[in-house]
Amino acid sequence: MDIEICPLETLKPRLADESKLVFGRQFSDRMFLMEYDAGQGWHSARIKPYGPFTLDPAALVLHYGQEIFEGLKAFRRQDGSIALFRPADNIHRFNKSARRMCMPEVDEAFFLRAIKDLVRLEADWVPRSEGTSLYIRPTMIATEAVLGVKPAARYYCYVILSPVGPYYKGGFQPVKIWISDSYTRSAPGGTGEAKTGGNYAASLLAAQEAAARGFDQVLWLDAVERRYVEEVGSMNICFVVDGTLVTSPLHGTILDGITRRSVLTLAREMGLAVEERALSVDELLDGAANGRISESFGTGTAAVVSPVGQLTYRDRTVTINNNQVGPLTLKLYETLTGIQYGRLADNHGWIEPV
């Protein structure tokens, strides 16, 4: 399938001071869009001026939530070139989410080419300051207009771009986590491992309550026993327990994070033992209190690595590593960002030049 490049008549003003960039508030001049019709497949691929499109009020996405998305970044590297971090993994996960939500898959090689073509055209939107990047949001929505619970016969798939600033505006500091015993993020057999909007909508009330209590994020427990650690906010979470890196296993209720995969690979290369196993809230609290748990951090596209310094469950609060960034947390953060920005020569094959 060819990609039509539509003319662009006007350019948006760039934010001159990149230190004022915030997440997801400004968007580039162009977007990618293609359409799907049952019996025809994907068609009409084009890169067009960024802007709204028309949806019928009965579009299935608006009523039954048939929607998926991804998140990845383009980085301005030290030599001035632009590169993506593990984009093929994101696109593969996009298709996995599509299968779970009964949506059509994309051709992965074609979709990567479309993303790279879009980023090339929008290269001036990739910021240059330390810690900044261009956030890439591929999305698919059901557009068929019918009030009936069924997989749609029509879809839009589009990609938009947003220049973003450093995640840690106040520096790389540990966060405070509230462990919820009343809300769950996902359940076995549900859509927890799919990157679909409903999972995030379901998390908003708990996040709102956590913020009102003075916490930065919510740590989710499993939906069956309300006992085992799953994710924190929208990130995977890791703990260093007796020198072993421990993280929740992938069993359908948590996201198969690209940053999580990268961290586990790097940790093994650093000589650490890695365990993907269930960690109970009791083991977590006791381990933090007696020092068996020496570090904890979240992993995700936005923050890369986010150190955890304090956790509260019901009436009990524990501190990890004296509320300081641990040495492994810092090393993993510096290694991953070093790969992304081209400061390290060994990129593990994770870098895709644009």
- CATH code for the domain in which residue 23 is found: 3.30.470.10
Show the CA angle centred on residue 171, arms to residues 208 and 279, nearest 5°: 55
Cβ distance 155 to 104 under 8 Å?
yes
- Rg of the Cα trace of the chain? 21
Q: How many residues does the chain have?
A: 354
**What is the predicted pLDDT for the residue at 130?**
85
Q: Which domain holds residue 330?
A: 175-341
* pLDDT-above-70 percentage for the chain: 100
Average pLDDT over residues 270-283: 97
Pair (188, 148) in one structural domain: no
C-alpha span between 305 and 299 (Å, rounded) = 5
Domain match, 275 and 155 both: no
Q: Is the pLDDT of residue 72 over 80?
A: yes
Q: Are the C-beta atoms of residues 36 and 153 closer than 8 Å to each other?
A: no
Answer yes or no: do 257 and 149 share one domain: no
Return d(Cα 343, Cα 321) in angstroms, integer: 28
Q: How far is CA 27 from the centre of its chain?
A: 18
Domain count, the chain: 2
Under the banding of pLDDT at 50, 70 and 90, the label for residue 74 is very high
Instruction: Verify that 241 and 326 share a domain, yes or no.
Output: yes
Torsion of CA 238, 82, 125, 33, to 10 degrees: -80
**Rounded CA gap, 158 and 153, in Å?**
17
Last residue of a domain, one of 136, 164, 192: 164
**pTM, rounded to two decimals:** 0.96
- Looking at residue 17, its pLDDT comes to 86
Written as six digits, the tokens of 244 are 């072993």
150 and 234 in one domain? no
* Span 161-192, pLDDT tens digits: 999 998 877 778 999 999 999 999 999 999 99
